[in-house]
Structure 1
Amino acid sequence: GHTVKFPFKPYPSQASMMSRILSGLDNKENCLLESPTGTGKTLTLLCSALEWHREDLKKSNNNNNGSDSDDTDSEDPVENFRPNPSPTIFFCSRTHSQIKQLTEELAKTPYRPNMLVMGSRDHYCINKELKDVPRKKERCKKIIKDPGCRYYKKEFVLSSISTFRKGGAKQVWDIEDLKKAGQEHSECPFFVSKDMLPSSDLVFCPYNYLIDPSIRSTLKDKVKNSIVIFDEAHNIEDALMDASSFESTLDELYENVFQVLKQIRMNPKIIKNLSPEKEHAINIIHPIMDELVAWIREKSESLKPIDFEKHSRVWKGKEILDILQGIGLSESNYFEFSSSVKALSDETDDKQNKKDKLGKPSAILEEFSKVIEFIFKNANWVDDYVLVLQKQTVLTNSFVKKQQSSKWNLIVSIWALSPRIAFSSLNSKTHSIILTSGTLSPLYSFPFELASPFPISAEMGNLSDIKNRAWIGTLSHGVRNEKFLCTHGNTDSFSFQDSLGETIIEHIKIIPSGVLCFFPSYGFLEKITDRWASTGLLDKINELKPAFAEPKNIKDFNETLIGYRQTVQSNPKKGAILFAVCRGKVSEGIDFSDEYARGVIVVGIPYPNLKDLRVDL
């Protein structure tokens, strides 16, 4: 048996969930567990996984030392910087805001593993010169080499001191803590975090660090035999398909790949500054890109119109293999192409300098090569792919189209239509994978869609007194007895829009504090709020609760979220209302506890766009 150290007496649903997780880890089995929001799922996952890890480490140490000691916390601080034989726990979530909440939950537990929060340069970089720079990865590589980044060191003090390790002053921390320490020590927190990886027992990271093979490869041996937990896994299938797909415009391929490689091949001065491996890689890749660009241009003349602004054509299965064969890629040489792409992206090449122009082509080629590897490594997977060529009119801005212009934007895509491709490549490397969320049902479909067994599968019950804590219901009609039929045509009617606004007003009169109101799309949200602004309904809503609307832009979104929270804090009884979008930023990974969400209103159902070609396929 196992004795889990829980910070309080667990609810029956938590105890049941911990029992299943421990059983899965004991038997190296995958787990599929649905646990409703508000049932303490994160705490349950952390405590059960960390207790299993503690016991497994104790067994490993006893086997190595011939000791029966129960003490797994080494008194030697050097041990905190050595990899241990027990499986690493990767705790994955959708966003970094969710990860911050995970570290806060870890602080509530009695467990103090060597932890790490992984993030990109966008999250960790403290060099002011790169603050608002796009393609930060490429610029970072250049500035390190010439003229040099003052935060980049050959050896980092922060990764070799105990502050951020077990027993240190910051043994539970988040990205902001490491960034602050990086500024104090003049050390790059991004590279410090990479240095800390080998000795970390618990790693928090976004989904794509594990499901994207090109990113996962940077984690080296840490993924082998690891425990991978996907929290909020209701979107995992879409994320897996995105991770095994490729998409680029013809302009990007031509200008940022083909033309750059061509210029390098024709310039002896640049070639001289490249290693022989990179020169060979360019000679392999450039002809294939030449053929790909030519193929796209040729086929763009025979696309079928979807509507006035978009034309497309789709190829499947063996047709894709024939196309790849035509541009010079086959089962016999794809590995050479893939190796060449890796050589082109090699950051350790000493001869690389500021004249090296390989940053842009490397990024695009890595994505393309990843999908090519998937297709050729398993002959059955090609049937899960479609190759799509689309052309659509270019927009001058978000509202006005170039109706008179003949310019088209050509897009080539290789879409994975099954999540099993990316999942299988991860599942083959791990000890156990745990998928959990408040909304996973129907559970029976996951083993088939992911082509992997989940022997431990269960729906956890809700809190026993949930009916006394919350009212959950549906409304078929509004205050004017207007039928709430949220179809495309009906939501355009003013009677529907006005009735919806008045119904929301009646509800926020009685709901205290903060209220979240979700719409199916940004277009729906803008259409409704524009109407309410013109009729005065928005003014009435603002009188009851100051209204905020979720913007598309991330910078504006952060300001909106801060404004909403501050308004609720300043007057908790009155609160505020935040209009948001299903599958938008508000709906994914942001904690609206207590007075920030005493009421939640959902308008309609966020079905996918039927005109989306990917949905149609």
Structure 2
Amino acid sequence: MKFEIEDITVYFPYDNIYPEQYSYMVELKRALDAKGHCLLEMPTGTGKTIALLSLITSYVLSKPNSPLKLLYCTRTVHEMEKTLAELCLLHDYQLRHLGPAAKILALGLSSRKNLCVNPRVLAAENRDSVDAGCRKLTASWVRALAAENPAAPKCEFFEQYERAGSSAVLPPGVYTLQVRDLRTFGKEKGWCPYYLARHMVQFANVVVYSYQYLLDPKVASIISKEMQKESVVVFDEAHNIDNVCIEALSVSVRRQTIEGARRNLSRMRQEIDKFKATDAGRLRAEYNRLVEGLALRGDLPATDAWLANPALPDDILKEAVPGNIRRAEHFIHVLRRLVQYLEGRLETENVEKESPVSFVVSILNHAGIDQKSLKFCYDRLHSLMMTLEITDTDEFLHIQTICDFATLVGTYARGFSIIIEPFDERMPHIPDPVLQLCCHDASLAIKPVFERFQSVVITSGTLSPIDLYPRLLNFNPVVSRSFTMSLTRECICPMVLTRGSDQLPVSTKFDMRSDLGVVRNYGRLLLEMASVVPDGIEIMQHKLVFIETQDVVETTLALDNYRKACDCGRGAIFFSVA
């Protein structure tokens, strides 16, 4: 259907629209007109995604001279696929009404694990290993060696993409990760889909990717640094965006991290000795470059860049590296002292909390490493790994974590705390010390996004209390609205259970939820409900970390199987954590 909102013709791909969807679009248009940020809450299941896409794409179509771009951020790959599928449907509808004038380029950008088509690289078991496998075939020094020795391993997809040069472009359309597949297009052309997608995000009208591409400085500084200011950024399902911001600037160090960092430093020391014997000029050239100041990452080939500095762009020092870490062997010695100091801090029997300032002073007193050297740790590590031509980056994640920690603790004096815990409170009898640099200020990570882009839309089915988010994220929305769901019938029937069938009080209160009688009553209630509910039942429990999973794929698979069970008529019970 087509309808007007003030001076905008909105193209909506369905025959009917909910009243709350229309109101949602009206408020969204107000924010776009004001070139400001907004908070919009609308219940799950009311068509929030298609309302956003319809209004923003129609807004751009009504202003053909506007360079407005849509950056749509989702939490998971599954949500990215759903968004691209909705956009595909909408784009087909707009093409039927407007013809070629409605053509756009829209794509989803995901990790190499989801976009790579090289069988040798895809054989790796996890994302970090896939990234390292790609680097082993595409790093500039690897390709230079392959040019001299045809038998050397290389990625034909990347080589053909490079040979195509400026002709390696995506034609207009909506490219998903499954249906209209970027990988299929890459295979047909013989081009690397991952680097093709990274190149095309600068020219696409709509880009769908995860929160980290904008909120995590290590990723955002590589992927999103050239995105234009005239962009609308949408954070969908943003009810926990403050947690994402905090996690982007938080680091945890455990005993495994310390042990792995020691192995990494030993390996790097061996590589340094090897280069001294075979190619000392490379180490001297790096030293001279560091005297003048660290080389800009933007000058590096895309295949050579690892991860960017964990600090925010405005907080990174633009000056020469301190003299005590310019030489490779001196830097390794500094890192050894830092690792030894952190190991000593983990040997505690009490929970400790410390400010970054006092922690940095303690590092100076006990390890002899000053604040400025800490700030440069991550960039110095990146430079050294480039010099040593290290490609198996998945083996060096531990020393990367140590340098992440050092750079952040040396950069930020406020909004952070160092917390040392000798054991997990759930298993106090098992020593498992952890040293955490905890970010308390969610506004730090998202501040560059608010300052850089024209409009930022934070939306979810649950943003209550909605007036809390501007304080958490430190911004002033031009629009802040909450919408309710319109129901045509009474379909919600809440029931509060206080006693079981044996009249025993039941509750999930801390002092009652472990009682066997309470557990038995909840189990009996679940069986009785399952015998009469024709479709699905969702159970939200109190937090049980031991049955949780951090694996997005596993979570998505469980949810998909639940939906399949409901769709085929068998029904299912979905257990989740509230």
Alignment of 1:343-382 (within 5 A): 343-344=383-384, 353=389, 356=390, 359-360=393-394, 363=397, 382=413
Unaligned runs of 5+ in 1: 61-85, 306-311, 527-549, 583-605, 607-617
Query: Kindly tell me: are residues 436 and 368 of structure 1, through their superposed partners in 2, closer, same or farther at Cα, counting changes over 3 Å?
Result: farther
Match of 1:132 in 2: 124
Residue matched to 2:338: 292
The amino acid that maps onto 1:174 is: L
Matched positions, count:
500
Contact 2:538–2:576 (CA under 8 A) maintained in structure 1: no
Q: Give the superposition deviation at 1:269.
A: 4.5
Taking a change above 3 Å as real, the CA distance of residues 567 and 35 of structure 1, as seen in their structure-2 partners, is: closer
Given that residues 93 and 207 in structure 1 are in contact (C-alpha distance below 8 angstroms), is that contact kept between their aligned partners in structure 2? Answer: yes
Q: Which moved more, 1:421-430 or 1:141-150?
A: 141-150
Query: Hey, what does 1:385 align to over in structure 2?
Result: 416
Q: Taking structure 1 as the reference length, what is the TM-score of the superposition?
A: 0.72
Cα distance, 1:362 vs structure 2: 6.2
Counterpart Cα distance in 2 of 1:222 and 1:54: 20
Q: How much has 1:505 moved relative to structure 2?
A: 2.6
Look up the match of 1:568.
Answer: 566
Give the aligned partner of residue 425 of structure 1.
448
Q: Provide the residue aligned with 2:573 in structure 1.
A: 578
Mean Cα displacement is larger for which, 493-502 or 149-158? 149-158
Tell me how far apart the structure 2 counterparts of residues 225 and 364 of structure 1 sit (CA, whole Å). Answer: 38
- State yes or no: 1:196 paired with 2:200: yes
1:47-446 counterparts in 2 under 5 A?
Answer: 47-56=54-63, 58-60=64-66, 86-109=67-90, 110-111=93-94, 112-130=103-121, 131-134=123-126, 135-144=129-138, 145=142, 147-155=153-161, 160=167, 165-166=171-172, 168=173, 171-175=174-178, 177-219=181-223, 220-222=225-227, 224-253=229-258, 254-267=261-274, 268-269=276-277, 272=280, 274=282, 282=328, 285-301=331-347, 303-305=348-350, 312-323=351-362, 325=364, 336-344=376-384, 353=389, 356=390, 359-360=393-394, 363=397, 382-392=413-423, 410-446=433-469
- The corresponding residue for 1:4 is 10
Q: What corresponds to 1:521 in structure 2?
A: 543
Tell me if the contact between 1:30 and 1:432 (Cα under 8 Å) persists in the aligned partners: yes
Offset, 1:19: 1.6
Given that 1:244 and 1:370 are in contact with CA atoms closer than 8 Å, whether structure 2 keeps it comes out as: no
Distance 1:214 1:510 in 2: 51
| CA displacement, residues 361-381 of structure 1 (integer Å, 9 cap, x when unaligned) | 76556656566666666xxx5
In 2, the alpha carbon distance for the partners of 1:336 and 1:554 equals 33
1:299 partner SS = helix
Judge conservation of contact 2:10–2:55 (CA < 8 Å) in 1: yes
What is the match of residue 298 of structure 2?
none
Alpha-carbon distance between aligned partners in 2 of 1:54 and 1:370, rounded to the nearest angstrom: 43
In structure 2, the partner of 1:500 is 522
Kept in 1: contact 2:252–2:435 (CA 8 A):
yes
- In the TM superposition, residue 59 of structure 1 has moved relative to its aligned partner by 2.9
Identity over the aligned pairs, expressed in percent? Answer: 20
Q: How far apart in 1 are the matches of 2:28 and 2:216?
A: 25
Tell me the SS of whatever aligns to 2:12: coil
Query: 1:17–1:325: structure 2 CA closer, same or farther, 3 Å change rule?
Result: farther
SS in 2 for 1:17: helix
1:34 aligns with 2:41: yes
Letter in 2 for 1:516: E
1-side partners of 2:53 and 2:28: how far apart?
10
1:503-543 Cα offsets, whole Å, 9 max, x none, are 2233233322232223223469x7xxxxxxxxxxxxxxxxx
Letter of the 2:40 counterpart:
L
The question of 1:487 aligning with 2:509 is answered yes
Give the partner amino acid of 2:464.
Answer: S
Q: Within 5 Å, which residues of 2 pair with 1:450-461?
A: 450-461=473-484
Give the alignment's TM-score, normalised by structure 2.
0.76
Shift of 1:579: 3.0
State how far apart, in whole Å, the 1-side matches of 2:273 and 2:21 are: 65
CA distance in 1, matches of 2:545, 2:247: 24
Whose relative contact order is higher, 1 or 2, with alpha carbons under 8 Å and at least 6 apart? Answer: 2
Q: Which amino acid aligns with 2:357?
A: K
Identify which range, 471-480 or 421-430, moves more after superposition: 471-480
Instruction: Label 1:108 to 1:343 Cα distance change in 2 as closer, same or farther (>3 A).
Output: same
Aligned partners of 2:421 and 2:435 also within 8 Å: yes
> What's the secondary structure of 1:221's corresponding residue?
coil
Q: CA deviation at 1:447?
A: 1.4
